[in-house]
Amino acid sequence: MVALFIASGSLAAVDAGAELNAAVTLAERGEVQGAWERLRMAGALSEEQVPTLMRLARAFEEDGCAAEAADVYVQCARLQPASIGTKALLAALIGRLGPPLWIRPEYLADMPLDARRVAPGGGLADVVLARNLRSSGMAATDPRFRKRFPKGLWVYLESPKRDQLRLAFVVHFQREGDAALASRSAVVLGALADLARERLGLWGRFAPDGVVHLWLCPFGQPGGEQWQEHLYLYSIDTERQPAEWIRELAHEYGHEVIPGIGGFAKPEEWANGLLGERLFVEWLAALHLRSLWGEDVDLGSVSRSGRKAALGAFRAAVEGRGSWSADAYTGLVLYIDGANGTGVLRDAIAATRGDSPAAFLAGYASALRQRRTYPVASPGDIGLLFYAPDPGEYRLQLRGGSGLAVDGRPATAPVRLTAGWHRASWAAGSGSAQSVTVSRVVPGAGARSLRSNAPPGRNVRG
């Protein structure tokens, strides 16, 4: 679908009427993109051009372009405020084609929707919760169990530039008594989507239109499931603490949005759900969002317990005392986010080619190669581990203490390292090292020509 906006003022030396007529001609031929471009070029329009605009809106509607048609209908209604017919056409459009995929924020009040804006806080994008004024227009049948859900909530998320509301989720429920749970779940999903989009550059992986559906099911066993672009929460009448609702939503949305790393025996074959609940809940806890569930929710204890288990499994895998389990992979991701920063994590995910832990580790190495120098901070009580993407010479700047030790041995600068994991510490002094800056001295072909017989994860000592 097209997501451009019409210029607010007329363009010099442009015949608005001619551009509008050209837009209609293109739209009636099914050339939506071209029609929208010509409409944008037309600039400001007048009341006399409403009949032509109505033709354009109907052409967009016949093409199934609800957002474009709704936008033009709103323009007509604004040019002719007394026209009841235009508003009725807009309501019928939404009833027939469903919610527009995008809405201009300034047009939200003109839409035949019961809408309210929620600000989660913490710098996250606002979430708009909307219901069709015609209740029958919200009914849907879920694709997995073929059960009818007569009620729903459309969830719009502000664009990064705050110039567009983008339909991100539809929350379906069967009983009006579940409306409060639907609203709270929608706000959490909006916060999760904004974090995934802004920090990791990720959006829903399975929906052609980018819209993810959440089905609140009174049936089934307590828990959740992701199936294509559909998320299910089961047995919603079973009492849960707010933190548990948020954890379940983060888990299922993790399956939806984070590229899968799999092949694990437990707790699931694919670890992106576990990663979603650990990483997203940690980020939410750090933002201290008081209105996330309509009440204060202690996510800190959930975050700390999950983080400790994951980092412990990661350390054991690096030191050769454990396997690369789902917990260890999750710990690796938490390590990268805490030790190197979210930017490195984003690049590592983007560079991963494959669905194994080894493929993700290769993506991480690629992200480090993009940086001549990278900081490493201790993300917890696992010491100061760092990763060398290639064999070669490195300079390490360690704060405090006296002298530098790598893998338990005194080291001079620059230090020659094998590719893989290493541990930095003070050769003398009290306390533990908390941060180090790693610089590759020979990052090119010379560094890659050196050989190391030590397998990754077995270089660490001390």
Q: How far apart are CA 323 and CA 318, in angstroms?
A: 9
Would you tell me which CATH number, out of the four given (1.25.40, 1.10.357, 3.30.70, 2.40.160), belongs to the domain 16-98?
1.25.40
DSSP H stretches of helix in 319-393: 326-339, 342-351, 357-369
243 in Cβ contact with 302 (< 8 Å): yes
Range 325-350 average pLDDT: 96
Most confident of 85-99, 332-346, 390-404: 332-346
- The percentage of residues in the chain with a pLDDT greater than 70, rounded to a whole number, is 90
pLDDT band with cut points at 50, 70 and 90 for residue 240: very high
CA 454, 457, 458, 462 torsion: positive or negative? Answer: positive
Cα dist from 447 to 305, 415, 418, 438, 450, whole Å: 40, 12, 10, 15, 6
372: region left, alpha or beta (phi > 0 left; psi from -120 to 50 alpha): alpha
Q: Running DSSP on this structure, what letter comes out for residue 178?
A: G
Q: Running DSSP on this structure, what letter comes out for residue 259?
A: P
**pLDDT score, position 306:** 87
Q: Rg of the Cα trace of the chain? A: 27
More confidently predicted of 101 and 445: 101
**pLDDT score, position 270:** 95
Residue extents of the structural domains in the chain: 16-98, 113-256, 373-462
**Is the backbone peptide bond immediately before 267 cis, with ω within 30 degrees of 0?**
yes
Q: How far apart are CA 43 and CA 25, in angstroms?
A: 17
Same fold, 16-98 and 113-256: no
Cα of first residue to Cα of last residue in the chain, in angstroms, is 57
**Statement: residue 450 has pLDDT above 70:** no
The distance from CA 396 to its chain's CA centroid, rounded to whole angstroms, is 34
Residues making up the chain, counted from first to last: 462
**pLDDT score, position 16:** 87
**pLDDT score, position 51:** 94
**Statement: residue 8 has pLDDT above 70:** no
403 in Cβ contact with 428 (< 8 Å): yes
Range 300-314 average pLDDT: 90
Q: How far apart are CA 240 and CA 222, in angstroms?
A: 9
332 in Cβ contact with 344 (< 8 Å): no
Cα dist from 228 to 135, 231, 420, whole Å: 27, 8, 36
More confidently predicted of 298 and 354: 354
pLDDT band with cut points at 50, 70 and 90 for residue 266: confident
Q: How far apart are CA 204 and CA 448, in angstroms?
A: 37
47 in Cβ contact with 79 (< 8 Å): yes
168: its two tokens: 């991100």
Could you tell me which of 424, 415, 349, 341 has the C-alpha nearest to residue 382?
424
**Statement: residue 245 has pLDDT above 90:** yes
Q: Running DSSP on this structure, what letter comes out for residue 423?
A: E
DSSP H stretches of helix in 206-271: 242-257
Classified as helix, coil or strand, 150 is coil
Quote the crossing angle between the two packed helices 342-351 and 326-339, to the nearest 10°: 130
- Return phi, psi of residue 424, to 5°: -105, 145
347 in Cβ contact with 409 (< 8 Å): no
In our burial notation (b when 16+ CB lie closer than 10 A, e otherwise), range 112-125 reads bbebeebebebebb
pLDDT band with cut points at 50, 70 and 90 for residue 411: confident
- Return phi, psi of residue 119, to 5°: -105, 105
Domain spanning 113-256, CATH architecture: Roll (3.10)
Range 188-192 average pLDDT: 97
**Considering the entire predicted model, what is its pTM?**
0.88
**Statement: residue 401 has pLDDT above 70:** no
Could you tell me which of 259, 282, 125, 261 has the C-alpha nearest to residue 189?
125
Burial class (CB in 10 A: 0-12, 13-18, 19+), 136: exposed
**Statement: residue 162 has pLDDT above 90:** no
**Statement: residue 460 has pLDDT above 60:** no
Range 346-370 average pLDDT: 97
**Statement: residue 430 has pLDDT above 80:** no
DSSP H stretches of helix in 239-325: 242-257, 272-287, 300-318
